Amino acid sequence: MDHKRKIVIAEDHKILREGLKSLLGTVEDLEIVGEAADGIEAIRCVENSHPELLLLDLSMPKMNGISVIRDLKSRLPETRILVLTIHESEDYILEAFRSGLDGYCLKDANYSELLIAIRSVLDGKRYLSPSISEKVLAGFLDDRKTLKLRSSWEMLTQREREVLKLVGEGYKNKEIAGYLCISEKTVEKHRSNIMRKLDLHTSSALTAIGFEKGLVTGTGDKPLKPRADCHVPTGELQDQGAPM
């Protein structure tokens, strides 16, 4: 074999580190050019031996794996980094990839999966253990849903938030109309706009989001009276703050 792919192993547990060296040392096109028992040593080893791949544990003494990834990717971005870890937490996974990680493999992976992960990362691809890819995808979709809701919430007008609070507290449209000096028709229009903007479909969903956002803190057990500055003309209540 003319060209061997150089690898540094950074793992604080000596038995596991020696096991990885022994295992990968038998692969014809791979060469272990260095090893490290802590984060600082891992960085120094990469700087000195210039490997194509750093096989890194996240839980390292002196300097944790995330910090190692950030440091190396800022100064030696061509170095590919594959994490080998026990951590299945979505927070760990997402933070590692945000820091510039190339691959994430769990320590319960078998030999063939580890080799697939190593070769994938060496070939410039991203790798994620199949057992956790579903979890990461679910977290990504939840993040998108949260961002969408946050953006939609910011689209609500002050009057719409006021209506949402009163609806969530259990007041009827007629009571809300009298309190806000607007017509029942306008209250209904506000409710419709709120549900459209937040993609909600029931009154109970309105109440739930009101509690979640801290608008609703109790129930409407006290009668609502028109505000002191409310001037009700003859006939229908005056519309104030109706959406354009």
Q: pTM of the prediction?
A: 0.57
CB 42, CB 69: distance < 8 Å: no
Asked if 5-139 and 155-239 have one fold, the answer is: no
Fold of the 5-139 domain: Rossmann fold (3.40.50)
Angle at 227 between CA 226 and CA 229, to 5 degrees: 125
> Which sequence spans correspond to the domains of the chain?
5-139, 155-239
Fold of the 155-239 domain: Arc Repressor Mutant, subunit A (1.10.10)
pLDDT reported for residue 135 = 65
Closest CA to 66 of 47, 85, 53, 51: 85
Closest CA to 69 of 34, 26, 98, 44: 98
pLDDT reported for residue 65 = 92
pLDDT reported for residue 222 = 66
pLDDT reported for residue 230 = 65
pLDDT reported for residue 79 = 95
Strands, sheet with 127-128, edge to edge from the N-terminal-most edge strand: 30-36, 5-10, 53-56, 80-85, 103-106, 127-128
pLDDT reported for residue 200 = 77
pLDDT reported for residue 231 = 58
pLDDT reported for residue 62 = 93
pLDDT reported for residue 228 = 64
pLDDT, block means (10 residues), the chain with 244 residues: 86 94 92 95 96 95 93 94 88 83 91 93 88 65 54 83 86 88 93 86 73 68 66 45 39
Two tokens at 49?
């031996």
pLDDT reported for residue 52 = 96
pLDDT reported for residue 241 = 43
Closest CA to 76 of 104, 98, 48: 48
